[in-house]
Amino acid sequence: MDNAQVLGHVQRLLDDVLSLNGRAKTFTRDTALLGALPELDSMAVVSLITAMEEQLGLVVDDDDIDGDTFATVGSLADFVAARLG
């Protein structure tokens, strides 16, 4: 999966998990997430990780993630790309 595909998949995951009704399609790599989107609270982070594991086959350990992972759409996409790579 190339970077554009990963970014698109992250946008879809965000839209689905956070019930953004298509808003995530307008997100760029620089779009802030944690602290900027009221929908992305601690429970939503857990749901997002679960969705990534189920839909992408990723295994995410607690030690693998921190606040920087969810800082922007780009940082989240980079995290996913690294796990898929």
- Across the range 56-83, mean pLDDT stands at 93
Convert the pLDDT of each residue in 3-14 to its tens digit. Answer: 999 999 999 999
Owner of token pair 């995290």: 79
The C-alpha atoms of residue 72 and residue 54 are separated, in whole angstroms, by 22
Distance of CA 64 to the CA centre of its chain: 14
The fold of the 3-84 domain, in CATH, is 1.10.1200
pLDDT at 1: 81
The C-alpha atoms of residue 15 and residue 19 are separated, in whole angstroms, by 5
Convert the pLDDT of each residue in 42-61 to its tens digit. Answer: 999 999 999 999 999 999 98
Convert the pLDDT of each residue in 13-51 to its tens digit. Answer: 999 999 999 999 999 999 999 999 999 999 999 999 999
Domain ranges of the chain: 3-84
Distance of CA 49 to the CA centre of its chain: 8
The C-alpha atoms of residue 82 and residue 27 are separated, in whole angstroms, by 20
